[in-house]
Structure 1
């Protein structure tokens, strides 16, 4: 145990030393030329800043372009005049538009009795109309306005350009420069102060050639902060180029005072540069010491890896997974070695706790990737030493299995080719080429996704497709009548379940076809019945609505028609509400509000509600109710609907002149409600069809029922965990409803 612990510690130290050495090596390769033997003023970046300063000094101070002269060069073409004139339409269209804009506001001013506002609006409107008329009458008027717009654009452009150039002249140079032809002198700062940098311009060393600013097309419409575009550039004149002034030659001196090296922004930059250089020297020194230690005290030993607790787990992995992990490790080392040296330089340039934490974190992650790389390479070498292992690893790899499954995938060529091409196309377009081409940095994300997500999913997909093709072949054999061989069931996948179902299909074909025929018939009846029941009252509503449009209609007839409309509307409302309620129950969205309810009292209330209707039918209702309360834990409102639907059903479909028997009693732990009657329509032999939606005993559908009564009652009873049973004996119709009593 102590030996393993000691090996782990030595391996950690070795990885840390390797990490430090690699960081130093990459750092010196990337930044050695920037820091070794150089001061801040000797670095290439500073020389570039001097060149930028001289260039910007030339175009902004020594030889600037005259804005007023540029304004004089602006041209206005006839096409621009015509475009400006008709930009918003013809003369009539523009005047009409102005009138329309002010008409409402003037009317509001009149309504508010504000004479001053009305007068001001009228004057403003007339002024704009006069200006529009002048646009169509006088080219000079339009040209003047266009020229003013162009001058304003040009002024904004030059001011913005000069501001940007001045911002680039940040170094605190002092200078004294004289034009050798005109003698004009330009000075700034103390030219006699002690200098850390000095550049002279004269006949021997060369004059300072101050060239005029050259404005390109891109400068016009790409200047930061201005929304100039191709159209604006054309508006200034498609061939517009600033008039270039003759080059002026200057003699004199430009210096960088020594005082500037310790003050202001430049002083801070120099301090950061020196601090960064010292830090880089320290890093490189540590890298050299690490290399010495790696070659002497901490020479690598394979036992550090072979005694690891992860060896056995890693060796059980398939060869494909090992290769993927090795690629990921190497990629992580490469990316981090590119990233860390720059972050190390930035750490010395701007020290902060956040940068320190980030740097330490990157160092640890790099060490981890180095450890995984070394770990895998050692185990790979050791395994290759064993004869025959490479061949065995290849045979048992996912790639070989994938190849075999790929062959079986194309047993059915059409499906295999289509699905394979679809998968590859989606994989490449969704996760691959486009993302990497747009942002190469996504390679670090793309490769792990491809190795650990894309390829495993592809393997599973191909394997499943191959199995599916075998199932399809077996199914085709069953369709041809060869039912002697069952489909092979492999594993516990959905396809295996499908194979089991297909094996059972041989015994259930007849039942399935019968149920399908019944389903089609009921669906056709449902559509027919819904259409009929909704169309009938709707047709009446339309008809009597048209009749009511007759203004000569008598009051008595109008009242009669309104009464019919009311009845038909209520009929349509009932149908729609019943339909929605059945749909709601079927979807399981209805909630019950259960409470203790006296079923005896609830049945008495339901019968009392229909007492007048029962009396009008001439039916003889015989009731048998318990003398005491029969309590059940139900939703009173929903259970009342059950009783109401069954009573209404009896009233509508009982043979006139016969009796209806209603009983309520307690049977065991249940409350039992029974209603019996003699039907006036032939019901047929199928009891279950009476529970179907829109099913009526009245096949001619001459009654007002929706056909949903029994379906709704059945759904409510089911929600209460009760039972509802229909029995028929000839024309005798009996419904028995039971629910748990309290």
Structure 2
């Protein structure tokens, strides 16, 4: 008995210590060594009072002054004038509105009504015409609408000012406008104010009020009207006297704060004493928790370990919530003085809940640890956990949630059908009728749906076997919107994916073969020439002129072979991403001009008509200048090599959205395949016979450089019209 009493004492001391710590953390900044007027809540109230004082008293909204600032813009006049359409449209609309009424008046031979309607129509038409004839006429209308908005806003400000006076009636103030000497005051100060704050020349209130008035639904006007009511610098005092606190909520807050402060001091001091007593006299040890409350321990340990953990998590959450609620209960104890008994009861309840939660946390943690303190015991406990067993049993069933739910639904229907059959047999009468209705309208339809789904599943499995055997020609029929239909659609997508993969694989093999052939051809041609002319140079009987010609051929072919190999290495590095780029802010317009200038002589000698369109202003982008030069140069050289003689070559640079777009268009001298994607493959040329001296790497290099700049290279072919576009992000 003595051990149990000591255990309860230790738990109580821990609870009280925790209460002191939690309340100190949450409330010490407002209550420790502070008066109510230094607390955060009052400071927020004071700041709100001063802000509203500036708006409603010191520099209030002045409707007459606001009307003097109203102006009407040309845009507003045009919006008002054309809001319902053009002049013709508005007149036709008015005539259409009255045509039926006038016709009815004529049929009724009501001449007087007809004259009234015609006059009303003509007045509206005349008003519309005047709207389009005179800006001053429209301006006056809009000005009146704005004045109405100002009047509405002024009435709203008046109501809000009265609310402000009622809400902050416990505040007194006296301020003087430094510039005008005008005095603003309420009430009378006393020699012993509860609170007083001075605003001198250093801490004066500087007010610059601007009011924003909405247009009250007039869509042809600007969204809001901005009114500057003036500025001012004010010195003075705000204060609170005891007499002002009567019959206000603020008085309750003030007294409640003082009472709560005393209680918090008591809690914090006793909390420190509890901590000292806990480690000085009580001296808790692990042994004191052993062997106590054996019956509770046995009941607790019967629960699976995951239930124990959840119980402790809930207890910890409840503990902190209860301790936090205790602090706020203390704070509100006097404020709700009419219900002090109820609040005191709440305090005791929260304290008891905290004690019990702490008991569960400490005792439960020790009991759980003792029962699973080794790896072997822990594994055993985990396997016995409720969630583990549930997950292990339901894992396969709910691999597909829909199937799992349907299976559970069928099981429930079957179970309830059996229970209903027994109930109907025992009860008879009305229960039999109800059972028959449920059987025919729920149980049998559910069974039929289940059997049909199983049949559909068997068909899907059969056709899946066909797909596994490599027969991809038959598509699985998708029926309905069930999970099996979705599975059938997925299998069809898989079949199509396999077919596409096989097609791509065949294309890849073809392209690989073409690549090897093209590389071999392009490398062998200059190499053969080098070998041939090297053998010719070995002839000692060559003349000096012949030897010079052969050396010149060797030099050209060597340079050609070097270029091919360097281009091949470069495009391979770009394709693998193993290349660095150095971006800088560059004017693409200037870069294009320089590139065209490099080939100016070639264009002059050629039989091409060059048309260049570029912006007059610089077009900037963050790019690698050398690499981007390579792109532009490759595309221009491409056009020179492969354009049909006597045709035009169009080169365009422009900004398209957030991108800089460079385009080259020309008429190809060679017939182009429809598969333009292959033109960017390495060693692929429009000249299929490969009689030109190109490497077939120009477009591949250009595309790789565009990709490195987060850009895009696209090719369009329409007959013999060849168009290549490179776009990179531009800088605004």
Taking structure 1 as the reference length, what is the TM-score of the superposition? 0.45
Taking structure 2 as the reference length, what is the TM-score of the superposition? 0.45
